[in-house]
A and B are shown apart, each in its own frame.
Chain A
Amino acid sequence: MSKMSRRQFVTAGLAATAGVSGLGVAANLAKRYGLVPPDSGGIYGPGETLTYAAQRLFARHSLAREFPRSMISKVPFANDMPPLNDAFKRLQAGAFADWRLSVEGMVARPASYSLADLRSFPLRSQITEVVCEEGWSYVAEWTGTPLFDVLKASGILPKARYLVYFSIDPDWWESIDMADVQHPQTLLAWGMNDGDLPVAFGGPLRLRVPRQLGYKSVKFVNRLMVTDSLKGFVSALDPKSPNSGYAWYAGI
């Protein structure tokens, strides 16, 4: 009897050790292959990590659905916006001729592009759905410059891991990983439905990330920052930040 329970004790101990070290190995592998999102801590960390790791493992290169022209929403919907600042209004008065997009951080050649510069890149047009975390959605045609083309032109360095992108609105910015940075559908969009991108929809320049929810598609983008760590930006992941405590990865 006591022999059996000792054997059971040893077996259970071995199983527990194997389980814990298995989890440890899995965590290490996940970290090495970039499967851990920056908000992996805290009580919601396990769920976020599972979602992010699953999508990056099984669907890293998948393309967002594109729709026929007939499905473009007749009345697209734009959220109300806070009043835009004076800097924006001055640029708007000049028809955005002086709008600049700066590319900084881990690039060989930091640069600054006008809208005309961006339009001189090969353009891409795609009819995709904007999906808001609240539940509503619409379909529009988005025209712009693939983000990665612009970063390649600036000589993005191999150690780059994230892109932080900023709106002219000082409290508005987001970040994405390299899977979405290099994704062909991630677009610096300056056109919508055969016209210039309207201000209500983020004009003159919006970063469209169609595989993630709408809040990752920041409006009025004027600054791109390539980095290997979000440590300096971690305050954005706390609930008091402008993103209201929303998940960093919004592929779900």
Chain B
Amino acid sequence: MAHAPLLRNEGPPRHTLLVRVTHWITVLSFLALLVSGVEILISHPRFYWGEVGNSRTPPLFTIPIPSSRATVPSGYGYVLPDQNGWSRYLHFEAAWALVLTGLVYVISGLWTRHFRKNLFPAPQHRTWHAFRDVIAKHLRLTSPDEADSRTYNVLQRVTYLLVIFGMVPLVIWTGLAMSPGFNAAVPWAVNCLGGRQSARTIHFFVSTFLVLFLLVHIAMVVLTGFASRMREMITGVPAAPQQRTIEHIEERT
């Protein structure tokens, strides 16, 4: 039993060691950013557009939750405890971990051609038709076949690229654009977003998108075989074909 993974470990790992390590550091950073970000949001659950906004200016929208500040007109008769001390420390430390890990991942991904080999859609898949096929497969709840489990389909590839090169850089940029020290050094980074409160509002929406991505990502991992997917991302050992079949039978029953 103990030797089973070794017997299956014939080809290259499903994910390289660098991808696996950076993946899990990113998971920890993202969870820390999410928890601390929600705590920071609670201290002022109102959003604005433009440079300035406060409890005396009309909000663009309000999150209907209680606040940890008495000065915020939340509509609730009580005030939550202030958690911004540790939340802000943790948020920025986790942001550094995410940025540094992301740099290692992106630079090595360019170096090893990881992006070109595994993430940029193959030429024959760069069509609406290929897209529609994958979406239809998902809608019919078809289990991925053997070829699918060794690679990413076009929908996965485009989504991962959007997250890696679109949403994560945007959430870092809009986060930095709220920092008074950073804005003094690089004023155009906040000015071109329409102001500091616009940056904060975009930061919130991009974060929400990333949470939705996380939920769908976890749902897909569970649906296609939680144990196999986790083993692939932890040990790198690809799931054996027969084991995949067993899992799929179990899922259908």
B-contacting residues of A (Cβ < 8 Å)? 43-44, 46-48, 50-51, 55, 58-59, 62-65, 67, 71, 73, 75-77, 79-80, 129, 131-139, 210-213, 239, 244-247, 250-252
Contact = CB atoms under 8 A, between A and B. Distances in A.
Contacts, number: 129
B181 A131 contact: no
Contacts of A252: 92, 179-182
B44 A51 contact: no
B240 to A, nearest CB: 29
B196 A129 contact: yes
Contacts of A55: 181-182, 185
Interface of B: 40-41, 43-44, 46, 51-57, 69-71, 82, 84-86, 88-90, 92-97, 178-185, 187, 190-191, 196-197, 200
Contact of B56 (A62, A77, A134): A77
A57 to B, nearest CB: 11
B86 A251 contact: no
A251 B181 contact: yes
B54 A239 contact: no
A180 B129 CA distance: 59
A213 B180 contact: yes
Contact of B84 (A46, A58, A73, A246): A246
A58 B95 CA distance: 19
A59 B181 contact: yes
B224 to A, nearest CB: 36
Nearest to A65: B187
Contact of A251 (B46, B52, B179, B191): B179
Given A59-B184, A211-B184, A138 B52 contact: yes
> Sorted from nearest, which 9 A-B pairs have the closest CB atoms?
A47-B93, A251-B181, A245-B85, A59-B185, A136-B54, A44-B89, A77-B54, A135-B44, A134-B43
A65 B84 contact: no
Interface residues of B, dominant DSSP: helix
Contacts of B69: 134
Nearest to B200: A135
B43 A47 contact: no
Contacts of A63: 184
Interface residues of A, dominant DSSP: loop
A202 to B, nearest CB: 16
25 contacts: A44-B89, A46-B96, A47-B97, A48-B93, A50-B96, A58-B185, A59-B182, A59-B184, A62-B185, A76-B54, A76-B56, A77-B55, A77-B71, A129-B52, A131-B178, A134-B44, A135-B41, A136-B46, A136-B55, A139-B52, A210-B184, A211-B180, A239-B86, A251-B180, A252-B179
A147 B187 CA distance: 24
Given A48-B92, A55-B181, A133-B88, A71 B56 contact: no
B92 A131 contact: no
A47 B88 CA distance: 10
Contacts of B185: 55, 58-59, 62
B44 A210 contact: no
Contacts of B180: 64, 129, 131, 210-213, 250-252
A73 B85 contact: no
Given A77-B56, A252-B179, 7 more contacts: A64-B184, A75-B57, A129-B52, A129-B196, A133-B43, A134-B84, A213-B180
Contacts of B92: 47-48, 51, 247, 252
A47 B43 CA distance: 22
Contacts of A64: 180, 183-184
B51 A139 contact: yes
A239 B41 CA distance: 21
Nearest to B68: A134
Contacts of A80: 70-71
B40 A44 contact: no
Given A47-B96, A239-B85, A244-B82, A62 B184 contact: yes
A213 B197 CA distance: 15
B181 A246 contact: no
A251 B92 CA distance: 12
Nearest to B204: A135
B184 A65 contact: yes
Contacts of B178: 131, 135
A64 to B, nearest CB: 5
